[in-house]
């Protein structure tokens, strides 16, 4: 269509003034037919996606969102496109539902097959997908009545599928979840029955009672429910849950509603859709719908109450959001004027950011120590850029941080801003200002608290000795920007430490390496240069990219050329030792050494500084008299010693019962240190 989708909300003012959640819950595209499902600690909502500017149910893909708190939703992209079902016609990616069985996720959809409708099933190893067609043909259909699948596994393991308009059909599913067991049945719920059944069934079970919630009364639809003591019916009509219709003053209902219900963390939630969002031309209608959610409570007798649609939605978050962990920019309670980029399945990010746009994130708990830094990962093209401001509780509430975004070329960059120790719980607003449209892209953010404002200290308590070997994973304590700079906050290798640097087990027993290293990332080490001189350098590296490399800096001054491995056939497990020497004399004393990545994708096992004059990798030196603390090579304090200028230190160490090995001695007044070999 080529038309830029820009959504605004008719209830935007009321919503953004409120400290409550915001309906509709997804604002960057039109979404319909919400199908919630709980997987562990996370709620996933699968939706269909109404195209903008259409006058029929024109839908080409499904969408999936997730939340752990029921107020902030993360856009997880497109689980499968209509074209993922080779047998499906275009424009017909209608209502769906996902269910888990035996560690696999089954996604049941409505599509069409050469005109009539059909139920398809796709499968994935991950709840958010990507999904692939499980059987290469419709599970049921083609048949003009076959829409809106809902699926359920009973306590005895028997799975059932239901669907249909204007009759409710059902069948048993085999354990494989992708074939039908027996025949397709018609239930007693039909258009002209006392149930006023229309479409959009939703099956659930609670306290031994089977609930069938469904769109009823033709169009404009209401939501009603029926119950049974068997998943196979017959069903007894119980009443209306939500009134629809255009005459409703609270809510701008579409002529369809389509609902889904879950229990999550002791609360019950009712999902539906309305037509409250408008496109940038101010248009809305029954074919451009948006999903909403309300919290409700079952009656003591198990009845479902009348639920009123609100613009506020869920009032209380299930838990507060931790801002000190990486939060995706596409995680939000509400936003204005943004779009999402789904081109990389593994990394949805926010784009289409114009002057005045904003993102609202609810119930952010800065704790009692307080946030001292705001970090945002952004990308801005040449000639673009803008400002991200962080405000508390309102779009124009107290401003606590501001980042200027300059062009970053093709790279994502973490930019940061200092803050004055914000404490407590707030809704936060990221507001975007600047001259251009599409000012920059926004991938993720996090804050740094005072716990991470701890001073930079050596990993092993004492500075690493030069000459000597420095294990890459033993970078300084102190957190981001002190001990390291890593572009993402997770440890992708999941080994050794867990503060954001990617650390993997190396090829050696009990060995580790810093890996997944990207250009401009660095790790820092407090070192002690024992003697002013030019040192030899050895670096044990592996890389999948001949252009990968590292450079070494001492107190931010470059001390090496680019150190690369030889072209090693992109074999990550083939570590090589690259050899060179410092490009300048390293001054005696304590410094900060940085290993900086200058070419993406390299693993660093260790870097060693070698005394070229002796060939020894660790040496002892002339001693000043005084009290020294003795540390093991792992940084553990072993004992204290009085040393005189004529002491034979290895013998002294032996008298303390220390075995052969390498020891670091540091004078009590910090005036000197040395490495001693006992052999
Ligand atoms: O989204 C297309 C159709 O509209 C669904 O299949 C129905 O349930 C109604 O919501």
Among 234, 204, 223, CA closest to 302: 204
Counting atoms of ligand 1 from 1, which one is nearest the CA of 50?
A: 1
Per-residue 3-state assignment (H helix, E strand, C coil) for 31-91: CEEEEEEEECCEEEEEEEEECCCCCCCCEEEEEEEEECCCCCEEECCCCCEHHHCCCCCCC
pLDDT, position 335: 95
Q: List the one residue out of 77, 179, 73, 68 whose CA is nearest residue 129.
A: 77
Q: What CA–CA distance (Å, rounded) separates 526 from 461?
A: 10
Ligand 1 centre from 33 Cα, in Å?
Answer: 6
Ligand 1, atom 7, lies closest to the CA of: 200
- Give the pTM: 0.72
Non-local CB neighbours of 68 within 8 Å, separated by 6+ positions: 41, 42, 43, 318, 319
Q: Whose CA is nearest to atom 8 of ligand 1?
A: 200
Q: What is the pLDDT of residue 449?
A: 85
HSE-up of 321 (CA within 13 Å, CB side)?
Answer: 29
List 448's β-bridge partners, or say none: 373
Query: How many Cα neighbours within 13 Å face the side chain of 81?
Result: 7
Residue 598 corresponds to which tokens in the numbers above?
């200058």
Choose the residue to mutate in 95, 216, 285 for probing ligand 1, maximizing ligand atoms within 8 Å of C-beta: 95
Q: Which residues contact 319 (CB under 8 A, 6 or more apart)?
A: 68, 69, 363
CA distances from 305 to 219, 268, 335, 471 (A): 22, 12, 31, 63
- What strands, in cross-sheet order, belong to the sheet with 236-242? 197-206, 209-216, 222-228, 236-242
Give the model confidence (pLDDT) of 244-280 as tens digits: 876 555 568 899 999 999 999 999 999 999 998 988 8
User: 94 and 47 in contact (C-beta within 8 Å)?
Assistant: no
- The set of residues, in sequence order, having a beta carbon less than 8 Å from that of 157 and lying 6+ positions away, is 175
- Nearest alpha carbon, ligand 1 atom 5: 95
Mean pLDDT of 580-600: 93
Q: What are phi and psi of 208, to 5 degrees?
A: 80, -5
Q: Residues with Cβ within 6 A of ligand 1? A: 32-33, 48, 57, 94-95, 110, 147-148, 199-200, 215, 256, 258
The CA distance from 635 to 456, in Å, is 16
Q: pLDDT grade, residue 367 (50/70/90)?
A: very high
**pLDDT tens string 380-430:** 999 999 999 999 999 999 999 999 999 998 789 989 999 988 999 999 999
Give first-to-last CA distance, the chain, whole Å: 78
Pocket probe for ligand 1: among 33, 96, 118, 257, the residue whose CB has the most ligand atoms within 8 Å is 33
624-633 residue pLDDT tens: 778 888 887 6
Mutation to probe ligand 1, out of 49, 56, 93, 148 (largest number of atoms < 8 A from CB): 148
Residue 421 and residue 399 in contact, taking contact as beta carbons nearer than 8 Å: no
Per-residue pLDDT, averaged over 548-555, amounts to: 93
CA-to-CA distance for 207 and 186, rounded, in angstroms?
25
Omega before residue 337 within 30° of 0, cis: no
- Predicted confidence (pLDDT) per residue in 64-89, tens digit: 999 999 999 999 999 999 999 999 99
* pLDDT higher at 460 or 292: 292
Torsion angle, CA of 5/434/436/348, rounded to 10 degrees?
-50
d(CA 331, CA 314): 16
């Amino acid at each position: 269509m080529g038309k830029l989708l820009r959504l605004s909300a008719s209830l935007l003012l009321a919503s953004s003034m409120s400290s409550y959640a915001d309906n509709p819950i997804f604002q960057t595209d039109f979404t319909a037919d919400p199908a919630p499902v709980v997987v562990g600690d996370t709620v996933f909502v699968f939706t269909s996606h109404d195209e903008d500017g259409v006058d029929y149910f024109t839908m080409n893909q499904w969408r999936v969102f997730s939340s752990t708190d029921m107020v902030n939703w993360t856009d997880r992209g497109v689980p499968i496109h209509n074209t993922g079902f080779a047998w499906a016609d275009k424009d017909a990616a209608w209502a769906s539902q996902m269910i888990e069985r035996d560690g696999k996720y089954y996604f049941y959809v409505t599509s069409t097959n050469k005109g009539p409708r059909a139920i398809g099933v796709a499968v994935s190893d991950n709840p958010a997908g990507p999904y692939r067609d499980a059987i290469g043909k419709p599970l049921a259909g083609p048949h003009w009545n076959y829409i809106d699948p809902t699926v359920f596994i009973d306590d005895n393991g028997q799975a059932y599928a239901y669907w249909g308009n204007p009759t409710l059909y059902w069948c048993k599913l085999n354990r494989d979840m992708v074939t039908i067991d027996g025949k397709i049945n018609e239930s007693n719920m039909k258009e002209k029955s006392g149930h006023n059944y229309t479409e959009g069934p939703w099956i659930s079970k609670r306290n031994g009672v089977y609930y069938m919630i469904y769109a009823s009364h033709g169009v404009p639809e209401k939501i009603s429910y029926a119950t049974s003591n068997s998943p196979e019916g017959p069903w007894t009509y119980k009443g209306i849950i939500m009134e629809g219709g255009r005459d409703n003053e609270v809510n701008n209902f579409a002529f369809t509603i389509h609902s889904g219900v879950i229990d999550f963390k002791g609360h019950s939630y009712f999902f539906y859709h309305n037509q409250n969002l408008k496109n940038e031309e101010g248009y809305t209608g029954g074919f451009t719908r948006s999903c909403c959610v309300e919290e409700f409570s079952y009656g003591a007798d198990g009845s479902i109450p009348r639920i009123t649609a609100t613009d506020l939605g869920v009032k209380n978050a299930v838990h507060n959001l931790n801002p000190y962990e990486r939060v995706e920019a596409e995680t939000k309670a509400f936003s204005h004027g943004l779009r999402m980029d789904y081109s990389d399945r593994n990394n949805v990010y926010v784009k289409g950011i114009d002057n005045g746009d904003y993102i609202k994130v609810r119930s952010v708990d800065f704790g009692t120590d307080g946030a001292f830094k705001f970090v945002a990962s952004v990308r801005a093209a040449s000639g673009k850029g803008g400002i991200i401001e962080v405000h508390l509780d309102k779009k124009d509430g107290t401003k606590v941080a501001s980042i200027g975004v300059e062009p970053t070329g093709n790279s994502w960059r973490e930019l940061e801003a200092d803050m004055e120790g914000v404490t407590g719980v707030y809704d936060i607003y990221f507001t975007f200002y600047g001259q251009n449209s599409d000012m920059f892209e926004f991938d993720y953010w996090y804050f740094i608290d005072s716990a991470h404002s701890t001073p930079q200290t050596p990993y092993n308590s004492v500075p690493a000795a030069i000459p000597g070997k420095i294990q890459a994973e033993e970078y300084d304590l102190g957190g981001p920007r002190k001990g390291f700079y890593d572009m993402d906050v997770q440890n992708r290798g999941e080994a050794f430490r867990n503060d954001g640097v990617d650390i993997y087990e190396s090829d050696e027993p009990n060995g580790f390496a810093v890996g997944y290293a990207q250009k401009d990332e660095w790790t820092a080490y407090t070192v002690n240069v024992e003697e002013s001189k030019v040192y030899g350098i050895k670096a044990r590296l592996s890389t999948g990219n001949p252009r990968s490399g590292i450079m070494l800096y001492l107190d931010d001054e470059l001390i090496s050329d680019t150190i690369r491995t030889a072209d090693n056939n992109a074999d990550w497990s083939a570590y090589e030792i690259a050899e060179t020497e410092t490009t300048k004399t390293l001054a005696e004393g304590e410094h900060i050494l940085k290993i900086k990545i200058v070419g993406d994708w390299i693993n660093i096992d260790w870097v060693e500084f070698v005394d070229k004059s002796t060939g020894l990798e660790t040496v002892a030196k002339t001693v000043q008299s005084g009290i020294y603390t003795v540390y093991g090579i792992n940084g553990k304090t072993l004992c204290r010693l009085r040393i005189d200028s004529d002491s034979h230190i290895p013998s002294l160490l032996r008298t303390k019962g220390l075995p052969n090995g390498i020891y670091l001695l540091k004078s009590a007044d910090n005036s000197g240190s040395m490495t001693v070999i006992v052999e």
